[in-house]
Amino acid sequence: MTAFSPAAAAALVPDGAVVMIGGFMGVGSPHRIIAALVARKARGLTVIANDTARPGIGIGQLIGAGCVAKAITSHIGTNPETQRLMLAGQLAVELVPQGTLAERIRAGGAGLGGVLTATGIGTLAAEGRQVVTVDGRDFLVEPALKADVALVAARSADYAGNLVYSLTARNFNPLMAMAATMVVAEPNEIVPLGVLPPDAVHTPGILIDHLVERPQVA
């Protein structure tokens, strides 16, 4: 697998695409691809992510640059710019409980139609939603989430695309790598085949379409 530049990766993401972006408050996000999307002035993206980070950080860069039309996310409390745009009607926001968001993405990758969850039953979140009863208990039907492109960040990759993540980068990156038509990975390092022990691989290379070249070291 040939690694290419962040700009080339950003060119693979068309305007209006549904894009999953890994990370947790910017940790484990593909920052160089995000910066390249901002530089090419991407527009109309639907971003599926845990959060919108902070202004100028991670996904917050995309929000501030006007690249995002809709965000499907678990919270926006740390990004006042996201809140301002939502209240002004300039950004659509679908808030999803964090566990439900992860399960909807997992369901998309597993080929399921959705998941059942009791989270939100009896609240405003259940209004207008499909409810099913199983063993006498009510559950909301939450549809699976899939994307045109997933942008994931990893600690290490080899040239077959096998990925290893660090710490909280494992929260969403592995799930998103299974739930998109095309997956682009941004590793901190790319090592020769055989360096990564098979038992250490978190995402197998069969799921990865493209690698971004490792950061340039001065």
Which CATH homologous superfamily contains domain 3-110+144-212?
A: Glutaconate Coenzyme A-transferase (3.40.1080.10)
C-alpha span between 28 and 17 (Å, rounded): 21
Q: Give dist(CA 183, CA 89) in Å, integer.
A: 31
pLDDT bucket at 217, cuts 50 / 70 / 90: low
Domain boundaries, the chain: 3-110+144-212
| Tens digits of residue pLDDT in 162-207 | 999 998 888 899 999 999 999 999 999 999 999 999 999 999 999 9
- Distance separating alpha carbons of residues 144 and 188, to the nearest angstrom: 30
**Contact at 8 Å (CB) between 22 and 14?**
no
**What integer pLDDT is reported at residue 126 of this predicted model?**
85
Q: Which two tokens stand for residue 53?
A: 């980070």
Using alpha carbons, select from 25, 7, 16 the residue that is nearest to residue 45: 16
What residues form DSSP beta bridges with 57? Answer: 54
> How many residues are listed for the chain in this entry?
218
Tell whether the torsion through CA atoms of 72, 58, 69 and 151 is positive or negative.
Answer: negative
Average pLDDT along the chain:
95
pLDDT tens across 105-115, in order?
999 999 999 99
